[in-house]
Structure 1
């Protein structure tokens, strides 16, 4: 029985790997759920860590985002699951000695929970006519809409997402968005809609103008998604270039 379970798990993992490799860009996300009272201390340590990464020319990269409920996301592009076995911090930890461990001990004092998982950028469902760069200069503000669904409704939700994209396309909407979906390490199925803007006012202005562009019948199309999701969550936040990192180009 143990052999059967192991074989089944391996088959499922290989199937998931195949699906992801055929599909879109994968990102490893490390999430820190920071206590509100420790945000200032956390930011201080995060900037110290970035400075150390620059000093040691750490051979990895990440984009950083922070949400309005004090979650910090460190987002690293990966090619496949084999990238998860890499140890990019090993040389830096050896060079820094005890100071490396002290930094992470100080991080641990700032949050009650943290973890790592994978998300997938779904280019098929994203509406980005001018290209799908992960970072847009001057557009660091974000609105994130999480739409959770049960496995039985997965096909219907995807069909609805396609219908929404077609609506935006047919109306010539300039309110672009990216779609991400859950990957390995997530217990729930969801699509996340990410919308960029200069700031909160710019985002609200664009959203209001987009309502006029799409027209009053837009809800008929939106309902093709809404009636099949189990719940929806909305967050705002921003990309944090000051906490992001990339190694020096040789």
Structure 2
């Protein structure tokens, strides 16, 4: 789980290219693409790492999610791009010595690839009337929808996403969602839609009821996004409080 290094120049180019507001919430995501055959071993090492963090108390925090195709995502808040240059595990690694190296040798056996990137919460496109929060009590199940598009269609897709939110708002939908925009370290443009439920059955029940709430006009509204999307990828999974971490004060 390596932290990417960025220069001030790259940060400036990134901010100019995407015209991101400093007020937007940023998150660094480290993603491990775990091999199915190593799933159980990865779980074991990840829990050992979590326990070691509780012992050594590194000054960082994250929430963890895993998808149905065995991607593990460690999601940390960022104050600014300079945070990417911080080394919160330096003291922990020094204290653990060979145990630290051994732990990451075991991690490396579990995947052929992993990466770190940044996403932004897009509050004005998110639909959570009671307040936007990444985690909700008792709702650890997740549906994630990645909507990809080309740069030339970015404005059209955003307009479509706003139309979808307006429809949900007008109809007082009970299906809430958060919208994220890709950032530094990603190779394609996309919006990520994240919806929370209690479990798979609760997700399906909400989805079915929502169709009736939105009515047939939902198709014309959704087309305002889909007509400009290059592809859509759908994943399900869950938040993992047992693999999440925050330091002791």
Correspondences of 1:3-82 after superposition (within 5 Å): 12-16=13-17, 19-22=20-23, 24-82=24-82
What residue ranges of structure 2 are gaps of 5+ in the alignment?
A: 1-8
8 Å contact 2:58–2:247 — kept in the other structure?
yes
Equivalent-residue separation in structure 2 for 1:198 and 1:141 (angstroms) = 6
Residue 189 of structure 1 deviates from its aligned partner by 0.2
Correspondences of 1:1-250 after superposition (within 5 Å): 12-16=13-17, 19-22=20-23, 24-249=24-249
Equivalent-residue separation in structure 2 for 1:101 and 1:18 (angstroms) = 39
Residue 216 of structure 1 deviates from its aligned partner by 1.1
SS of the residue 1:173 aligns to? coil
> Per-residue CA shift, 1:104-153, capped at 9, x if unaligned?
01000000100100011110100010011111111000000110000000
TM value normalised by structure 1: 0.94
Equivalent-residue separation in structure 2 for 1:81 and 1:16 (angstroms) = 14
Equivalent-residue separation in structure 2 for 1:201 and 1:238 (angstroms) = 13
Equivalent-residue separation in structure 2 for 1:226 and 1:15 (angstroms) = 27
TM value normalised by structure 2: 0.94
Moved >6 Å (runs of 4+): none
What residue ranges of structure 1 are gaps of 5+ in the alignment?
A: 1-7
Equivalent-residue separation in structure 1 for 2:52 and 2:88 (angstroms) = 13
SS of the residue 2:103 aligns to? helix
In structure 2, relative to structure 1, the CA distance for the partners of 1:49 and 1:151 (3 Å cut) is: same
Equivalent-residue separation in structure 2 for 1:225 and 1:10 (angstroms) = 29
> Per-residue CA shift, 1:73-111, capped at 9, x if unaligned?
000000111100100000001111110011001000000
In structure 2, relative to structure 1, the CA distance for the partners of 1:239 and 1:87 (3 Å cut) is: same
Equivalent-residue separation in structure 2 for 1:187 and 1:131 (angstroms) = 31
8 Å contact 1:20–1:26 — kept in the other structure?
no
Equivalent-residue separation in structure 1 for 2:17 and 2:84 (angstroms) = 15
SS of the residue 2:125 aligns to? coil
Equivalent-residue separation in structure 1 for 2:173 and 2:155 (angstroms) = 25
8 Å contact 2:14–2:184 — kept in the other structure?
no
In structure 2, relative to structure 1, the CA distance for the partners of 1:17 and 1:147 (3 Å cut) is: closer
Please tell me the root mean square deviation across aligned C-alpha atoms, in Å: 1.7
Deviation larger for 130-139 or 41-50: 130-139
Equivalent-residue separation in structure 1 for 2:20 and 2:235 (angstroms) = 29
